[in-house]
Structures are given as C-alpha cells and as structure tokens.
Amino acid sequence: MHVMVLGAGVVGVTTAYYLAERGHTVTVVDRASDVASGSSGRNGGQLSYSFTDAMASPAMLPKLFPIIFGGSTAFRVKPPLDALPARWGWAFLRQCSSHSARSNTLAVLQMALRSSALLAELRSRVQFEFSFRKATKLMLLNSQSELKASEEVCAAKRQHGCKVRVITLAEAEKIEPALAHIDSRSIAAVYSEDDEVGDSETFTQQLRQWLTANHDIEFCFDTSIDRIRVEKRKLYSVETDGSTFKPDAVVVCLGAWSNRFLKPIGIKANIYPMRGYSVTLPLGEKPSSVSITDLENKMVYSRLGDDIRIAGFADIVGFRTNADTNRVHTLLSTARKFAPEIADYDANSVGEWGGFRPMTPDNQPLVGPTATEGVYLNTGHGMLGWTLACATGHDLANSLEKRQTG
Ligand SMILES: Cc1cc2nc3c(=O)[nH]c(=O)nc-3n(C[C@H](O)[C@H](O)[C@H](O)COP(=O)(O)OP(=O)(O)OC[C@H]3O[C@@H](n4cnc5c(N)ncnc54)[C@H](O)[C@@H]3O)c2cc1C
C-alpha cells in the first residue's frame, strides 16, 4: 500500500518506521523543514513508562479554582477560558472520577510497558545515538494525601508488571545524592526502576535518516497540508500547498493540530493544545543522574548526555505563544530555587523552547482506523508522546494490516 503519514513528529516518524518495516511505501509530509519541529523537539526527554497517571482525577478537582484564577505556577489560563473549548473542558471533568482516573492510568500504563519493549527492539535494529540511558526516576511527594494515593496506584501498577514503589526520603537520597541539595518539602518519593531517558528530537532525526537509507520512503518537508478530501465516506486525496496526493491510506499524526483537519471530514477528535516549556543547560556543581519529577510545579529534570533538560508547565492558552518568554523565566526561576546546583543557570545559552502537547480529556491517544475508509489516526498523546511512540506506531501498523487482510 501507499500510506501517507501527515506530520513528522516523533509519532509520525515512528509510525512511518513500523509501516515501512512491513513493506508499505510511505510518504511523510510536514510543513516544517525538518522532523520534530512541534512538540517532539526539546521535550522532557523522559521515557516515563511508570508515571502514566491521568491528569483528570479527583485530586485535580480542588485545584481547578486556583488554576483558573491564576494561583498556580504550573498552569496559566489566559485570557480567561476563552481558549478552552467547552466540549474539551466538559469531557475532562467527566473523566475526573476515581474509576475513570484509574482505568485511564492503567490503560496508558500497559501501552507504555509495551513501548519500552518495542523501543529496545528498535534500538537493537537501528543502533544510533540519542542520549538514551536507563536513568530510573524519582517523583517527589509533598503531602500525606499524595503519599497515600501513590501507594494505592503503585500497588495497582505493580500488578501489571511495573517496577514502581514508594520509598522514604532517606532511601531516595541514597539513590540520587543530588536530592540532598534540593530545596523541597518532600516527605517521600515514588521510585521507578525501569524508566529511561533519551532525546526525542535526536531520535526522530536519526530515525528519519535511517529510514531514508534503508526503506522506500519519501519525506516531503516545507509542505503544508491544506485538507483531507473524502468522498462517499472514503479517502479521496490529500491536498497540500504544492500538490494533490492520492494514497491508499492516510495516518493523521498532526499532534495538537489534528482537529483542524479531522473536523471538516466529520471526525471528532477532541484534542487540546496544552503549552509547556523547557530549558537545556550545562550540568551544575551537583547534577542529578536519576530523572526527578517535581509534582507540585509540574516540572521534570532529566540528564541528557552532558546537559540537564528542565521541562514543565501546562498552559491553557490556545495556540498563543506571546507569553513564552515570561513563562520560560518562571520555569528557570522555579528550577533555580528548587534545585540550585543541578544545572549551570548562568550559562550563556539557555536553550529555551515551547511546545503544544496534544491532550485528550482522558489522557489516552487515538490510534487506529476511523469510520472513514482509508483514514487512520495516531494522535493525542498528550504528556507522553515520546514514551508511547513505539507502542502506538506498532499498533497503528497492526490495525492497517488487519483492515487490509479483513
Ligand atoms: C514541555 C513538554 C515536555 C514534555 N515532556 C515529555 C516527556 O518527558 N516524555 C514524553 O513522553 N512526552 C513528553 N512531552 C509530550 C510529547 O512531546 C508529545 O506528546 C509528542 O511530542 C507528540 O508528538 P506528535 O508527533 O504527535 O506531535 P508533534 O511533534 O507536535 O508533531 C506534529 C507535526 O505536525 C506538523 N503539522 C501541523 N500542521 C501541519 C500542516 N498544516 N501541514 C503539515 N504539517 C503540519 C507540525 O509541523 C509537527 O511537526 C512533553 C511535551 C511538552 C510540551
């Protein structure tokens, strides 16, 4: 089959890999001049197989008021709520029950654990460098209620084969001595033994090169998709600013921009662009080796090669980017206060970056065929697109094959 992959982020390029490995002829299209220009650029770098917890949960409900009215560092909602479609907000609220939070968390956990095995397989095949490391992870807990909730969720995750447990702060400091130099009010930590790190931008660039050298695949950059054309509930063509393609199937991997192309053809995807930021700094005097998550500020610290990547925040501002400089400054000052010696905050270059996470209300990506023949989705990976890319790319290729043989 000739399959067109729309979007060359980590999800699109990994999808292309699984499709090409099965012998399909693949064309990947992106409006940017290279891969990973969207959310797959300088994200947190964490392959977070164990922290798959859904954002929509009962614990989120009491936080909503301060979030909406500006009392939270981690979130920015401006201008007030007009940027958040009511349909998304309502669907998110409906996922905030304990039952939904648990089932969403465990569904993504299973996907993440599969992704870990698939990435190991892919690495052994392609053998390129992307600062990959089994870093393990410590998520700091600040209150008794967080501790109790974490013990419960860790027990449920262990039943699915995930190596995750709550440990004391003293145990955490033994695992990561840099914690002794962190200014936090933590009382305990969740330790994830199998979590990894890697640079998703380098991975995507290297995978593109490997695919070009080894498969029948074409990358069309600087090509803006205008629309997907459907006739009689069947894919007809994909129109770009330069030409019209008539593939056998199309896979929408357009991340936060997916709704724009799906709505006109009657596919309701409900994906919201949640803005986050990162800085990449040289190591400080007391750098960490283990990945650290500061839950309160929604920030992660990952060591990628000779750098520390600090990423976080979850802004509800639509596609606006006008406050990026302020938000990056807040990210930096929060990090400097929390972990003053982890990174060299006075470095000349801070590597500022912002990206739109493609968030679904239930934290679950949309993967597989749609009611429109020939149109497939692999989008809506939210906070975990880098972690889940292998599992969802693999699932997508399976679903296409099933349709073909069925
Ligand atoms: C601050 C931050 C930290 C994060 N940290 C982590 C982490 O530690 N671990 C993790 O697993 N995930 C993390 N994520 C989430 C992860 O980055 C995303 O889930 C993932 O990158 C989504 O990949 P994607 O390929 O679906 O989307 P994208 O990478 O955004 O790709 C979509 C592509 O579509 C293209 N496009 C859009 N419109 C058009 C058009 N009209 N024509 C042609 N092309 C178009 C864009 O150019 C883009 O290349 C983080 C995200 C952020 C913002």
pLDDT in tens, 273-304: 999 999 999 999 999 999 999 988 889 999 99
Distance 116 CA to ligand 1 centre (A): 19
Question: How many domains is the chain built from?
Answer: 1
272-282 and 2-6 as β-strands: parallel, antiparallel, unpaired? Answer: unpaired
- Torsion, Cα 159 380 191 328, to 10 degrees, reads -170
Let me know: does 3 contact 252? Beta carbons within 8 Å: no
Is the peptide bond between 79 and the residue preceding it cis, with omega within 30 degrees of 0?
yes
Q: Which two tokens stand for residue 195?
A: 């979590």
pLDDT at site 406: 67
**CATH no. for residue 139?**
3.50.50.60
- CA-based nearest residue to 46, from 308, 361, 254, 358: 308
The residue whose C-alpha atom lies closest to atom 16 belonging to ligand 1 is: 385
| pLDDT value at 388 more than 90 | yes
Q: Is the pTM of this model over 0.75?
A: yes
Query: Sheet containing 353-359: which strands, arranged edge to edge?
Result: 164-168, 188-192, 137-141, 291-294, 299-304, 307-315, 272-282, 353-359
| pLDDT interval class at 77 (50, 70, 90) | confident
pLDDT in tens, 202-243: 999 999 999 999 998 999 999 999 999 999 999 999 999 989
pLDDT in tens, 153-209: 999 999 999 999 999 999 999 999 999 999 878 999 999 999 999 999 999 999 999
| Cα–Cα dist 373/231, whole Å | 10
Domain that holds residue 375: 2-405
State what percent of residues in the chain have pLDDT above 90: 87
pLDDT at site 74: 87
In sequence order, the 6+-apart residues with CB closer than 8 A to the CB of 47 are 115, 116, 119, 195, 196, 197, 198, 386, 387
| pLDDT interval class at 65 (50, 70, 90) | confident
Rg (CA), the chain: 21
pLDDT in tens, 321-352: 999 999 999 999 999 999 999 999 999 888 89
**Mean per-residue pLDDT over the chain, rounded:** 95
335 lines ligand 1 (CB under 6 A): no
Q: How many helices (H) and strands (E) does the chain have?
A: 10, 19
As a 3-state breakdown, the chain gives helix, strand, coil percent values, each rounded to 5, of 40, 25, 35
250 lines ligand 1 (CB under 6 A): no
pLDDT at site 36: 98
Question: DSSP code of 133?
Answer: B
| Cα–Cα dist 76/273, whole Å | 13
Q: Which two tokens stand for residue 386?
A: 């880098």
Q: Which of 5, 40, 108, 316 to mutate to test the pocket of ligand 1 (most atoms within 8 A of CB)?
A: 40
> What SS3 class is residue 146?
helix
Q: Which of 321, 324, 386, 388 to mutate to test the pocket of ligand 1 (most atoms within 8 A of CB)?
A: 386
